[in-house]
């Protein structure tokens, strides 16, 4: 799979997506990187620690977040995308579900649209934009209720609807990543189950999968820890994700997750073929 000018071997490797929130209110790092200089410094640090792709977000999606206008989100993200692109050779993901923000972001240099509503937020505009521009996309499971009949089967059905929207819009199959949506429209037990069954999620849907569980409440509830003390829990979930077939892991702490995943991949396949692990 090609994202930007980089090739990703999604069948054999597990890649690290670094989180850069240019927001004042994200649950974990709000306000830390919402000026260009600090955003660039953080990008440089994450690249030096082994990040493969950078995910830039301009609107927090934490529980109880404040929705902002398209214009404000564009003002937060587009200049940072341009600045990062001009200085670093790294694929950029833009974390937005608004097609106007995505359009401005792609013009600024974003290579991938990370849509937490899985193309279901609007009436097809986001899907049409992604198809027209040829951008890659990560499409997440989400819904506005938790009225599941058969939870895991319903998640799969929801994702199949998302894939159908993508296909009808003309988005190429090799441009699509799916995300089970840990922390979105799911109970504590639902989150644990979707991660435990990620190998099934991968097989039934047949697309590369991204796991985004870094510092999330499922860790806080399990370990009774605040968001800034959830590193070990995140690493545990990254290892589980890698072992269950995730091609991408979206995380805050690059170095520690890179090391954990490299060790995991060595155990899983390194002794068999001696190939260089990513």
* The pLDDT of residue 34: 58
Q: What is the pLDDT of residues 137-148, one digit of tens each?
A: 999 999 999 999
Query: Does this model's pTM top 0.95?
Result: no
Higher pLDDT, 260 or 32: 260
Q: What is the pLDDT of residues 29-71, one digit of tens each?
A: 444 555 899 999 999 999 999 999 999 999 987 767 678 999 9
Q: Where are the domains of the chain?
A: 2-273
Averaged over 118-137, what is the pLDDT? 98
User: Given 76, 120, 216, 230, which residue is catalytic?
Assistant: 216
Averaged over 250-259, what is the pLDDT? 98
Averaged over 86-100, what is the pLDDT? 98
* The pLDDT of residue 33: 53
Averaged over 200-218, what is the pLDDT? 98
Higher pLDDT, 277 or 152: 152
* The pLDDT of residue 26: 45
Is 216 labeled as catalytic in the residue annotation? yes
* The pLDDT of residue 31: 46
Share above pLDDT 70 across residues of the chain, in percent, rounded to a whole number: 93
User: Given 250, 255, 262, 269, which residue is catalytic?
Assistant: 250
One-letter-per-residue 3-state SS of the chain? CEECCEECCCCCCCEEEEEEECCCCCCCCCCCCCCHHHHHHHHHHHHHCCCCEEEEECCCCCCCCCCCCHHHHHHHHHHHHHHHHHHCCCCEEEECCCHHHHHHHHHHCCCEEEECCCCCCCCCHHHHHHHHHCCEEEEECCCCCCCCCCHHHHHHHHHHHHHHHHHHHCCCHHHEEEECCCCCCCCHHHHHHHHHCHHHHHHHHCCCEEECCCCCHHHHHHHCCCHHHCHHHHHHHHHHHHHCCCCEEEECCHHHHHHHHHHHHHHHHHHHHCCCCC
Q: Under CATH, which number does the domain 2-273 receive?
A: 3.20.20.20
Tell me what the pLDDT averaged over the chain comes to: 93
Q: What is the pLDDT of residues 186-207, one digit of tens each?
A: 999 999 999 999 999 999 999 9
């Amino acid at each position: 799979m090609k994202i930007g000018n980089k090739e990703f071997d999604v069948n054999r490797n597990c890649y690290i997506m670094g989180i850069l929130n240019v927001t004042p209110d994200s649950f974990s790092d709000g306000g830390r990187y919402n000026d260009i200089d600090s955003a660039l410094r953080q990008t440089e640090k994450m690249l030096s620690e082994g990040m493969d792709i950078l995910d830039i977000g301009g609107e927090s999606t934490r529980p109880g977040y404040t929705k902002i206008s398209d214009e404000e989100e564009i003002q937060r993200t587009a200049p940072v995308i341009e600045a990062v692109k001009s200085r670093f050779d790294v694929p950029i993901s833009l974390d937005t579900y608004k097609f106007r923000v995505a359009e401005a972001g792609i013009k600024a240099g974003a290579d991938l649209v990370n849509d937490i509503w899985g193309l279901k937020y609007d009436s097809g505009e986001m899907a049409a934009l992604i198809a027209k521009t040829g951008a890659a996309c990560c499409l997440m499971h989400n819904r506005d209720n938790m009225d599941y009949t058969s939870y895991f089967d319903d998640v799969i059905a929801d994702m199949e609807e998302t894939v159908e929207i993508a296909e009808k819009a003309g988005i190429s199959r090799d441009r699509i990543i799916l995300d089970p949506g840990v922390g979105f429209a799911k109970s504590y037990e639902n989150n644990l189950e979707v991660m435990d069954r990620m190998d099934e999620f991968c097989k039934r849907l047949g697309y590369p999968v991204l796991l985004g569980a870094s510092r999330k409440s499922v860790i806080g509830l399990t370990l009774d820890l605040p968001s800034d003390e959830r590193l070990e829990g995140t690493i545990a979930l990254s290892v589980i994700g890698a072992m269950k077939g995730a091609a991408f892991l979206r995380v805050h702490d690059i170095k520690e997750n890179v090391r954990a995943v490299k060790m995991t991949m060595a155990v899983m396949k390194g002794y068999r073929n001696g190939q260089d692990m990513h």
